[in-house]
Chain A
Amino acid sequence: MMESKIPEGPLSEKWNTYKAKAKLVNPANRKKLNIIVVGTGLAGASCAASLAEQGYNIKSFCFQDSPRRAHSVAAQGGVNAAKNYKNDGDSTFRMFYDTIKGGDFRSREANVYRLAECSAHLIDHAVAQGVPFAREYAGYLNNRSFGGVQVSRTFYARGQTGQQLLLGAYQALERQVSLGKIKLYTRHEMLELVVIDGKAKGIIARNLETGKLERHSADAVVLASGGYGKVYYLSTLAMGCNSSAVWRAHKKGAFMAGVSWIQFHPTSLPQHGENQSKLTLMSESLRNDGRIWVPKRANDDRNANSIPEEERDYYLERRYPSFGNLAPRDISSRAAKERIDAGHGVGPMKNAIYLDFSDAIKAQGKDTIEAKYSNLFTMYEKITGINAYKEPMLISPSAHFTMGGLWVDYELMTTIPGLFALGEANFADHGANRLGANSLLQACVDGYFIAPYTIPNYLAGELNATKFDIDHHAFEEAENAVRRQLDRFLHTNGTLSADYFHKKIGRLLYEKCGLSRSRKNLEEAIIEIRELKASFEKDLRITGDNTLNSELEKAGRIADYIELAELMCYDALQREESCGAHFREEYQTPDGEAVRNDEEFCYVSAWEWKGQNKEPELHKEPLVFEAVELAVRSYK
């Protein structure tokens, strides 16, 4: 069931070998095949547009009012590509190695190598689309270095790289809409996957404008529905980000892998109060010039500028001299938490650290810093009312990117034939930690360059398969199940809002399955999550009716989050080692560094849903390393 399908041959030849052997579909037959793509972010829009270009019929779904709102739009920093434009020693292999090491040796070699290999083409394609990447005065592309690597391979469009890449993909998608190859369903949410004879054959979607349930059939279904970091409630994600599409596919038989591997971004704005709905991300590129510190003395209440140099602890530079402020995200985040927990946190809630630009301004001048980061400084001032040219920024780690997701093979197909998962919705490529500027890359590469080969390879075998239409009883059963759930939410008549439960589950995970985890906490969390689930079932209050109703939408997402949270805790509990974003307190060195256990845990944990109130079943995909040696991941 879990065959990874990694092609034979040397690492650098695997993808070429696959492409050369992949089955093709005759152009005349392509228009007979229908594909559903859920999500219109970088992975979804690029996949929909690419397959439509080839001649397939695509139905594209998003819950937002326009495909252009997908959360890929918010990514700031950049996108990696091994172009070696700076002649500073970059190569496909080095990028592959950095990503494998960054992921703490918990990702598949073949996938990661392919990611690095395709990265150069992505820059070419995005430039062809008109993405206005930063340029040198000579007219050539500019790039910069980003957290966790020592070469300059990050291409960027000011602090809005995600926005510009997404607009490129969105425009490509709209071009196919105008050509009639893509039918767009905005304000539609996938609420169920339809599986017939073991294969993905369609979805049930709710029209969020009218409340009507719709049946859509297809020859293949692609989930590009993003990550689930919003399970923590306070996170850097958009309010609508959710796990529903992947979770409902999981309950239909698709395995979830690496579920508890969730990256906490080190440079978010700290929480300031109880009614806060999200934490705003500041681009990690700020760490190129900003120095991170806290007061040496615990509970030091002095204003930042009046703390003298010798009483400041530049803890990243102290602990990780060779990477310093550019240490990877998991390490930087955990180091911040360690200092905050030890009483050195700053700001009104004592939950932040300083990101200080005074040295950079002294060395380079205010104008240079302004040219690099002015939009971020303006945003910071808008939100906090503080001028960061004059005093250090207050920042803090917050839940961000999910490395976990649906288990997929080398073809990006889940354990349900015909169901593919792309971008952040799948678990592949990042291992236990994602390097900065690799998420846009993975989403784009999955959609533009990989799925356009692997999905046709699957569809070639489906040409003569039985066609099912939406009258099939599997569609009826799926629709009824969705209807029953919506009715239940509307008629629970409790006293607590959907948001109440979201905040509860979020806080619980932050405390017990967040930046650090322990057996005791995780075991407690599983019990508390079950209690919360019981409370949700009888205490929820949804006002309004079954037409346009944002509260009803939230209820479904939170029901899924509660179940997902439980699986996250099982995953974290089972993995008795520390790796990447997963830090088990029982497994650390005396000076607080993670201790990985390659003898016992060098595998991907893939979980099978066994039913309500039953423990999930663990399946293991062993990770085989041929091109790299498993090393202790040190940034010292």
Chain B
Amino acid sequence: MKLYLKIWRQFDASSKGEMTDYEIDGVSEHMSFLEMLDLLNENLIQQGERVIEFDHDCREGICGQCGVMINGRAHGPLRNTTTCQLHMRSFKDGDTIYIEPFRAKAFPVLRDLKIDRKAFDTIIASGGFIGASTGQAPEANSIPISYETAEEAFDAAACIGCGACVASCKNASAALFVGAKITHLALLPQGKVEAPKRALNMVKQMDLQGFGNCSDTRACEIECPQGISVLSIARMNLEYMKALTFRK
């Protein structure tokens, strides 16, 4: 099929970017969206032009590195799907597709569609862990965890850190990302001890990184490739309020 692409080109964080028109022919419906971009880049190389920079790695929907806005939606038209798992059968011959980077003040554009998501790592460093040192852990079965709890913790732990939640939110809030980690660790007995401190530190760091507040529009949940529930935001608020109330 033949497609008309409008792609955001921006040289670096301090340059002004703009939408640029491209045409591409010979796109098969079996190609992934990123393979379509590969093909476009191959054409650009043949023309001696600089390629369109975009982030990607595993192309299996699990590493979380890919992600662009496609026709105004994070990761494109399908629910719970990363950009790398979006295939061209979701488009039809003659379509015009708008491709832009995930936009948020906390995610500056590096070049074209590549953005800087270090802010997520900084939030994790502020408390998104269990302080278990290596080597002397107790026997694993000495801490029974119910099947349901383990599954619920897993649902939250499945976050891939792609940033679609931030990009979909009108406030560029990272509440779903932070809520997911707080939920994962607070549900487990091993993570409960540090739960109050974790909630306070991570929420504070989220604000410091320049993410906005959650105003409960739930756009994040709809675009999350892992289908993480906004209930994790509720749990973040609960853990945060508990910590605020009882700290001293």
Contacts and interface: CB of A to CB of B under 8 A. Distances in A.
A50 interface: yes
A25 interface: no
Contact of B137 (A128, A177, A275, A383): A128
A74 interface: yes
B128 A171 contact: yes
Interface in B135-168: 135, 137-141, 143-147, 149-151, 153-154, 157-158, 160-161
A272 B30 contact: yes
Nearest to B80: A378
A276 B59 CA distance: 11
Contacts of B128: 171, 174
Contact of A172 (B129, B149, B160): B129
A550 B51 contact: yes
Nearest to A170: B124
Given A74-B62, A281-B60, A543-B48, A157 B87 contact: no
Contact of B124 (A123, A171, A385, A548): A171
Contacts of B62: 73-74, 160, 163
Given A127-B190, A139-B146, A452-B134, A548 B157 contact: no
Interface in B34-93: 34-35, 38-39, 42, 44-46, 48-51, 53, 55-65, 78, 81, 85, 87, 89
Interface in A3-48: 46
Contact of A277 (B12, B59, B118): B59
B110 interface: yes
Nearest to A63: B57
A128 B190 contact: yes
Contact of B110 (A125, A130, A209): A209
A136 B139 CA distance: 16
Contact of B140 (A46, A123, A275, A383): A123
B132 to A, nearest CB: 4
B89 A128 contact: no
B146 A65 contact: no
A567 B61 CA distance: 33
Nearest to A493: B48
B184 interface: yes
Given A66-B117, A124-B137, A238 B59 contact: yes
Contacts of B220: none
A338 to B, nearest CB: 27
B133 interface: yes
A547 B50 CA distance: 12
A277 B184 CA distance: 34
23 contacts: A50-B135, A65-B55, A66-B65, A69-B63, A73-B63, A74-B60, A129-B129, A130-B184, A130-B185, A134-B150, A135-B151, A137-B146, A139-B146, A167-B157, A170-B124, A174-B121, A238-B59, A276-B35, A379-B61, A382-B78, A497-B42, A543-B45, A543-B48
Interface of A: 46, 49-50, 53, 64-69, 71, 73-74, 83, 85, 121, 123-130, 132-141, 157-158, 160, 163-164, 167, 170-172, 174-175, 177-178, 184, 186, 209, 238-240, 272-273, 275-278, 280-281, 379, 382-383, 385, 448-449, 452, 495, 497, 499, 541, 543-545, 547-551
Contacts of B38: 275, 277, 499
Contacts of B110: 209, 548
A167 B120 CA distance: 13
Given A135-B144, A135-B151, A184-B121, 9 more contacts: A66-B161, A74-B63, A85-B141, A125-B135, A127-B190, A172-B132, A239-B56, A449-B134, A497-B46
Interface centre among A49, A170, A275 (most CB of B within 10 A): A275
A127 B143 contact: yes
B104 to A, nearest CB: 15
Contacts of A85: 141
A551 B153 CA distance: 40
Contact of A174 (B35, B42, B125): B125
B10 to A, nearest CB: 11
Contact of B138 (A124, A167, A170, A276): A124
Given A68-B161, A170-B124, A543-B45, A73 B185 contact: no
Contact of A124 (B46, B64, B140): B140
The 8 closest A-B pairs by CB, nearest first: A139-B144, A171-B129, A128-B137, A174-B125, A127-B140, A124-B137, A544-B50, A178-B125
Contact of A164 (B129, B145, B157): B157
Contact of B184 (A132, A175, A177, A278): A132
Contacts of B151: 132, 135
Interface of B: 12, 28, 30-32, 34-35, 38-39, 42, 44-46, 48-51, 53, 55-65, 78, 81, 85, 87, 89, 110-111, 114, 116-118, 120-121, 124-126, 128-135, 137-141, 143-147, 149-151, 153-154, 157-158, 160-161, 184-185, 188, 190-191
A382 B121 contact: no
Contacts of B65: 64-66, 69
A551 B45 contact: yes
Contacts of B50: 543-545, 549
A68 B50 CA distance: 29
Contacts of B46: 495, 497
Contacts of A158: 154
A174 B60 contact: no
Nearest to A276: B35
A281 B64 CA distance: 17
Contacts of A83: 140
Contacts of B117: 65-66
A543 B44 contact: yes
Nearest to B31: A275
A269 to B, nearest CB: 10
Contacts of B114: 548
A275 B28 contact: yes
B27 to A, nearest CB: 9
B100 to A, nearest CB: 18
Contacts of A273: 28, 30-31
A490 to B, nearest CB: 12
B77 to A, nearest CB: 13
Contacts of B160: 163
A238 B58 contact: yes
A130 B191 contact: yes
A66 B118 contact: yes
Contacts of A178: 125-126
A278 B59 contact: yes
Contacts of B45: 497, 541, 543, 551
Contacts of A71: 57-58, 63
Nearest to A167: B157
Nearest to A550: B53
A545 B149 CA distance: 52
B147 A132 contact: no
A626 B65 CA distance: 47
Contacts of A141: 140-141
Contacts of B121: 66-68, 174, 177, 184, 186
